[in-house]
Structure 1
Amino acid sequence: MYIREEPNRLGELRRMQRIATGFLVVAALLFVAALRFEAAYPWLGFVRAAAEGAMVGGLADWFAVTALFRRPLGLPIPHTAIIQTRKDAIGASIGSFVRDNFLTTEVLTGRLSAINVAHRLGAWLEHPEAAERVARLGASGAAGALRIVNDADVQALIERSLITRIENTPVAPLLGRGLSAVLIGQRRRDLLYAIVQLAAQLITENGPAIRKRIAEGSPWWMPRSVDRSIYNRLVDTVAATLNELSQDPDHPLHAQFDAVVERFIERLQSDPELIAKGEEYKAELTGHPIVRELVASLWRDLKSYLLEQSERDDSALRATILRGIERRARGRQHRQQRAARATTGGEPGWANPP
């Protein structure tokens, strides 16, 4: 809506005041002239009466309008300057009227039900052009919000939330429950096999050092061939164990390893010493600068990814928003079809047989 500038409005107001004052002066002059010559010309009585009514009406209108905003002629006349002296009461009265007659629960519920915003919005979003437009606007809005937010504030919020969540979660029992859920069945056997395989690899890679330690621990008079035999026996034993574990699912080492794992999981969830040690490690972790660096890096990467996605027409972000809108639209169509079938007793568009 066009709004006039303040100087133009003041000029127009003064022009209307001059016009009204001019009409009042004309009415007064007509009244005086008619009163002066009424004895000679009796028909001027009608003119005098009309002019008198115009003067009375003009003065009454002037007084009524002036009395709303200020004291007429500066005189302390009762019930004048109404808006100036009672603006708070008038505002409260208008607010109460609007609240009681337009903003009640019944009125708003009825109006919103009649409008049925959800139905209209759903029908509009069923059009592919509308869905694509909303997806595009949603991605652009997300990009705008990301550019506005303060990175330091977001990082601090994420850091506080993460640290609070970590501090409120006992580490050792959580680790125990996690191991109990992960290390089940074949996974325990795979873990045992990986441990033995790692031991074999370490023995092979560190063969010279192991042979040297064996030689250092042997008596001086023991032949070197015996040391080599001990090392070879160690390597052969580990290799044989690996072969047996892979071939025999009922190998005793499996049961022994299962018992060790079960005891460790139980201790993680019930041993006060392990629980306290886990809390110590957790406190060291949450206070380490690497946590802040990790949060900052995660936020930078996420923000950069979202900004990049929001600017591309074929981005995964827009596609995800569009799929969500289309899924909602299909769900709405299915609900309408079910409602139609429930109403007609059959498929939509088919009448029931008599």
Structure 2
Amino acid sequence: MRMIATGLLLFMAASFLAARELSALFPHPAWGFAIAFTEAAMVGGLADWFAVTALFRHPLGLPIPHTAIIPENKDRIADTMAAFLRTNFLTPAVVARRIQGFNLAQAAGNMLIEQRSGTQSRLRDGAANLLADLLESLDEEQFGGMVKSGLKKQLTKLNLAPLLGQLLQTAIADRRHPPVLDAFIRWAALTIEANEDLMRDIIHKRAGALLRWTGLDDKVANAVLDGIYKLLAETLVIPDHPIRAKIEEGLATLAHSLLHDPEMQEKVARLKEEVLANPAMSHWLDGMWERTRGGLLRAVRNPQGLMKGSLGLSIEQLGRTLVEDEELQLLVNRFARRTLVGSVSRYGDEIVRIVSETVKRWDARTVTGRIEGAVGRDLQFIRINGTLVGGLVGVLIHTVDRLL
């Protein structure tokens, strides 16, 4: 557009010279109108070129007063822009009014349903590729070290004993421990059965020479093993067996100690520190991070496959619930409005301060380039209009002059 506007101005200059020469060779009253048009068009085009250029730089590099207006006043423009943004957009009343009729919950539900059905595959695939590229661009060792360091720091701060005590106490109160206890008893029986020959050999070695000479050691081993099997079976099938009661009593005592005994809590804390300091823990965290990162990469590289599975079904169900449940929509929309309005109220000044400071940090050439790039075409139309309107005004003045 700058080339077109400049070309039009040069065309008017060439036409003016040509009209002057032709009027001398071929005298005619019409040449006066042509000369008036082109002469006034040049004046209008040059005037508007000066005005447009003076906004962004010194015309022809000359330090003419009141030129290069935007570069010279970029700090004031930044403050004015930030104040305008704060006053007209980032106020609680304006934000609340703008989102009053917007059903955020329904829109989110429709998006989730469409993501499941694949109608927004470009958006989903684009977001997935972006996330995958981000994960692959991060330094594996550095980022993995940050993740592991952060996880270790959180585990170090965690007071583990009361948490374990509360979990154990809740499990006992809800009767969730009997299946675990039954599984432990079955595991113990299978372990003894798998190592029966070893136990018989131990009893044989511990028995006296007399028992071995008489062959009673085999009977003792059989009796011991039968007794153990019988005890485990009875403990498994009898709900109020004394051993089961003792185990439950021990679990309750352990839960109470974890919650209220400082000595027990100190033991758990020391054990936690020893585990975290063990190199095996670091190796485990390394493996866990690599598996997690690999799983994320596989998932985001194949978003369609991910959405077809149970996760996609859950997302679709959540979307349908948001679309169909009006009461849930009301709660979600109310929460979103309060959150957004509260955020604007708390952080509005910080947001506009970021805008102001960002513009102020730009150098004059950056500010000029970005503003001129945003409105440049319209500015060149001003030059074109000035050239044409100037020419028409010149014709009008020439006409009035001839009539008078």
Tell me if both proteins adopt one fold, taking TM over 0.5 as the criterion: yes
Give TM class, smaller chain: 0.5 to 0.7
1:205 aligns with 2:198: yes
Q: Judging changes above 3 Å, is the alpha-carbon distance between structure 1 residues 146 and 258 closer, same or farther for their aligned structure 2 residues?
A: same
Instruction: Report the aligned-residue RMSD.
Output: 5.2
- Extract unaligned runs of 5+ from structure 1: 34-42, 340-354
Counterpart contact for 2:166–2:255, Cα < 8 Å: yes
Once the 2 structures are TM-superposed, how far is the Cα of residue 268 of structure 1 from its aligned partner?
2.8
Check the 8 A contact 1:28/1:52 in 2, yes or no: no
The 3 A distance-change label for structure 1 pair 142 and 203 is same
Offset of 1:281 from its aligned partner?
1.7
Could you say if the C-alpha distance between residues 317 and 16 of structure 1 is closer, same or farther in structure 2, counting changes exceeding 3 Å?
A: same
Q: Is the 8 A contact 2:16 2:38 kept in 1?
A: yes
Question: Partners in 2 of 1:246 and 1:273 — Cα distance?
Answer: 34
From 222, 228, 240, give the equivalent of 1:250.
240
Aligned length in residues: 315
Task: Give the C-alpha shift of residue 280 in structure 1.
Answer: 1.6
Q: What letter is aligned with 2:11?
A: I
8 Å contact kept, 1:204–1:235: no
Which residue of structure 2 aligns with residue 344 of structure 1?
Answer: none
> How far apart in 2 are the matches of 1:188 and 1:115?
50
Asked if 2 retains the 8 angstrom alpha-carbon contact of 1:66 and 1:72, the reply is: yes
The structure-2 alpha-carbon separation of the partners of 1:20 and 1:179, relative to structure 1 and needing over 3 Å to count, comes to same
Moved more, 230-239 or 159-168: 230-239
Task: Give the letter for the 1:155 counterpart.
Answer: G
C-alpha distance in 2 between matches for 1:250 and 1:281: 34
Q: 2:231 is matched with which residue: 231, 241, 257?
A: 241
The 5-angstrom pairing of residues 38-57 of structure 1 reads: none
Aligned counterparts, 1:154-193, within 5 A: 154-182=143-171, 184=175, 186-187=178-179, 190=182, 193=185
Give unpaired runs (5+ residues) of structure 2: 330-404
Q: 1:215 aligns with which of 202, 208, 211?
A: 208
Q: Relative to 1, partners in 2 of residues 1:28 and 1:103: Cα closer, same or farther, differing over 3 Å?
A: farther
Contact 2:258 2:265 in 1 (8 A): yes
Does the 8 A contact of 1:28 with 1:51 survive in 2? yes
Partner residue, 1:260: 250
Q: Deviations over 1:26-47 (max 9, x none)?
A: 788899x9xxxxxxxxx98x99
One-letter code aligned to 2:251:
V
Name the SS of the counterpart of 2:161 in structure 1.
helix
Q: What TM-score do the two structures reach when normalised by structure 2?
A: 0.55
Contact 1:192 1:257 in 2 (8 A): no
Question: 1:18 aligned to 10, 13, 16, which one?
Answer: 10
Q: State the distance in 1 between where 2:248 and 2:315 align.
A: 50
Paired position in structure 2 for 1:343: none
Q: Could you report, residue by residue, the CA deviation over 1:100-149 in whole angstroms, capped at 9, with x for unpaired residues?
A: 89746577777777898887787687664515555544544443343333
* Amino acid aligned to 1:315: G
* Aligned residues of 1:131 and 1:325 also touching (Cα < 8 A): no
Which residue in the other structure is 1:62 paired with?
46
For the pair 1:294 / 2:284, whether they are aligned, the reply is yes
Partner Cα distance (2:274, 2:314) in 1: 42
Amino acid at match of 1:210: I
Q: Which has the larger radius of gyration?
A: 1
Are the counterparts in 1 of residues 19 and 31 from structure 2 also a CA contact under 8 Å?
no
Give 1:95's aligned residue: 81
- Maintained 8 Å contact 1:27/1:55: no
CA contact (8 A) 1:193 1:242 kept: yes
Q: For 1:88, give the aligned amino acid.
A: K
The alpha carbon displacement at 1:284 in A equals: 1.8
Against the structure 1 CA distance between its residues 28 and 187, is the aligned structure 2 distance closer, same or farther, given a 3 Å change threshold? same
Q: CA deviation at 1:65?
A: 4.0
C-alpha displacement at 1:155, in angstroms? 1.8
* Larger RCO: 1 or 2 (CA < 8 Å, sep 6+): 2
Instruction: State the percentage of identical aligned residues.
Output: 20
Q: In 2, Cα distance between the equivalents of 1:290 and 1:328?
A: 40
Three-state SS of the structure 1 residue aligned to 2:268 is helix
**Does the 8 Å contact 1:135/1:318 carry over to 2?**
no
1:282 pairs, out of 272, 275, 282, with 272
What is the rounded CA distance, in whole Å, between the counterparts of 1:198 and 1:71 in structure 2? 93
Contact 1:180 1:265 in 2 (8 A): yes
Alpha-carbon separation, structure 2, partners of 1:100 and 1:258: 64
Partner of 2:293: 303
Q: Deviations over 1:206-258 (max 9, x none)?
A: 22223323439xxxx89855973665554454344335434544333333333
Question: Which protein is richer in helix relative to its size?
Answer: 2
